[in-house]
Structure 1
Amino acid sequence: MSIPAIELMTTLRSGHSTSPRLTWYGPDSERVELSGRVLDNWVAKTSNLLQDELDAEPGMRVNLDLPAHWKSVIWALAAWQVGMETVLDGGEANYLVTDRPDSTGTYDAVVAVALPALAMRWPGELPGGFIDYASEVRSHGDVFMAHTDPSASGCAVRGSDGRRHLHEGLLTGFAAPHEEGVRLLVAAADGLEAALSNSLGAWHSGGSVLLAHPDVDLTDKLLAAERIRGK
């Protein structure tokens, strides 16, 4: 049975696949623009890393210990595509994905995510057993084929307040509603959960997202260039 996350990825890579779907503005003038096709490629590679390298299966949990960032969104979409539960409250999980490799806990695997867009590997040494996302993800395929069909009745999100959202309600319960074709400004300062909820809602309505780091000066010129109406 297909789940909303898989259907969403199909839509993003097929409908207006070359149009921007996620644009990131970060520190030091960093700008990353992902079309529907490129976004799908990143998600597929990450899903394949989860499934083929980490032996992840539907129903398993991944703790996303990450700030609101374009790579964090990739990880959430990939986990949902596999049929996994994303843990946003720091609770128990099978896997940890973090930008802080000094994090502690007991996990089947820990993945270190370097946030700079051009990072080809983690800067410096990683603790033993950590997986370097930047260096590993590029070796995985651009197309994802699930080994096991995910369940729509499984949990997709455990929010920061502990509330759980099922896969079948990901786009109708967890996603924030937005107008058709919206070009949505999402503030990274509001946290990862809000970024995921708003991004899903924008894409579900055929829109696109601009995700901005708190340090970015959102000038009128920038907003006009990105077709954002108001702040």
Structure 2
Amino acid sequence: MFISALRTRTATNGAQPLLTYYDGAADTRTELSGATFSNWVDKTANLIADLGHEDGEPIDVLLASTHPGHWVTLVWIAAAWQRGCPVNSRVTGADLLVVGPEDERRAEQTVACSLHPLGRGFATPPTDAVDYVEVFAQPDIHDASVFAGHDIFDGEPLPNVQGRDTRILLPDPHRGVEPLLEILVTPVLGTGSSVVTVGCTPDQLISVATAEHAILVS
């Protein structure tokens, strides 16, 4: 469901912003159009296959707990669904584990993400994990699994939701399926977009909402 909607969104409204991410503490901003987000998803889905992870097998995306609103987290979730892989936000023993920059947890196969605003790798690459920067070497080809369409998050299929056509700002989203639906799924199903902020002060939030022409959701 989600990947099909993303393909439609990319084809019909790909140049428009889909996701904008602010890190208040680092004073960084990353904006992804629908087409750019889709490109990251395709590359990441191809990385999953290149790592030898089987389509339809679960992936423990711990970023969904430690950095639930980060654009890299959302790319990984979408890429997992493109491969038909259920996404777990906790350690469940899946063969493939995806972690952030200071997370030392490891599995049979682990991808570590620096969460650099431009997607760059670690200054010192991890010795016991794949640096997510390797995604840049992957082709842009869209390769969806026959299992794609079964979008599962933490053991449950995604609920049916309506598309959203507005631009909203969501500060410091918490873990769970509801923020995921609001940030990623509803705008993809519609023509809307999301601005996510982390670590911003109240004054910064007002400034960002004004600059981004976004509705601040409390």
TM-score normalised according to structure 2 size? 0.85
- Which residue of 160, 165, 173 corresponds with 2:156? 165
Query: Counterparts of 1:101 and 1:222 in 2: how far apart (Å)?
Result: 28
> In structure 2, do the counterparts of structure 1 residues 119 and 145 end up closer, same or farther at CA, with 3 Å as the change threshold?
closer
Q: Secondary structure at the match of 1:83?
A: coil
Q: How does 1:87-102 map to 2 (within 5 A)?
A: 87-100=88-101
Equivalent position amino acid for 2:90 in 1: D
Gap change, CA 1:229 and 1:207, over 3 Å in 2 = same
Could you report, residue by residue, the CA deviation over 1:118-145 in whole angstroms, capped at 9, with x for unpaired residues?
35321324133x10002x0011111222
User: How much does 1:202 deviate?
Assistant: 2.7
Query: Quick one: structure 1 residues 8 and 57, their matched pair in 2 at CA, closer, same or farther if it must change by over 3 Å?
Result: farther
Cα shift at 1:205: 2.8
In the aligned structure 2, how far is the partner of 1:203 from the partner of 1:11?
Answer: 9
For residue 32 of structure 1, what is the amino acid of its counterpart?
T
Whether contact under 8 Å (1:171, 1:201) holds in the other structure is: no
Question: Could you tell me how far apart the structure 2 residues matched to 1:14 and 1:81 are?
Answer: 17
Match of residue 135, structure 2, among 134, 137, 144: 137
Structure 2 Cα separation of the partners of residues 228 and 80 of structure 1: 28
Deviation at 1:191, TM superposition (A): 2.7
Within 5 Å, give how 1:46-57 maps onto structure 2. 46-51=44-49, 53-57=50-54
Which residue identity does 1:157 align to in structure 2?
F
Tell me the distance in 2 between the aligned counterparts of 1:192 and 1:85.
Answer: 14
Is contact 1:72-1:192 (8 Å) kept? no
1:1-231 equivalent positions in 2, closer than 5 A:
4-26=1-23, 27-51=25-49, 53-66=50-63, 67-68=67-68, 69-100=70-101, 103-107=104-108, 109-118=109-118, 120-128=120-128, 130-134=129-133, 136-146=134-144, 148-150=145-147, 152=149, 154=150, 156-158=152-154, 164-166=155-157, 170=158, 172=160, 177=162, 180-191=164-175, 193-198=177-182, 199-215=184-200, 218-231=204-217
Return the letter of the residue paired with 1:43: V
Conserved in 1, the CA contact under 8 Å of 2:99 and 2:105? no
On the 8 A contact 1:88/1:193 being kept in 2, the answer is no
One-letter amino acid of the structure 2 residue matched with residue 131 of structure 1: V
Whether contact under 8 Å (2:9, 2:189) holds in the other structure is: no
Contact residue 23 and residue 31 of structure 1 kept, 8 A = yes
SS in 2 for 1:15: helix
Q: Secondary structure at the match of 2:110?
A: strand
Distance, in Å, in 2 between the alignment partners of 1:97 and 1:157 is 15
Q: Distance in 1 between matches of 2:8 and 2:169?
A: 21
The 1:90/1:193 distance shift into structure 2, 3 A limit, reads farther
Residues 6, 188 of structure 2: 8 Å contact kept: no
- RMSD value over aligned CA atoms? 2.2
CA 120–47 in structure 1, closer or farther in 2 if over 3 Å, else same: same
For structure 1, the residue ranges without an aligned partner over 5 or more in a row are 159-163
Could you state the TM-score of these two structures normalised by the residue count of structure 1? 0.81
Equivalent pairs, count = 210
Contact 1:184 1:202 in 2 (8 A): no
Task: Go from structure 1 to structure 2 and tell me whether the alpha carbon gap of 1:42 and 1:119 turns closer, same or farther (over 3 Å shift).
Answer: closer
Could you list the per-position Cα deviations for residues 16-50 of structure 1 after superposition, in whole angstroms to 9, with x for gaps in the alignment? 11100000111322111111111110000000100
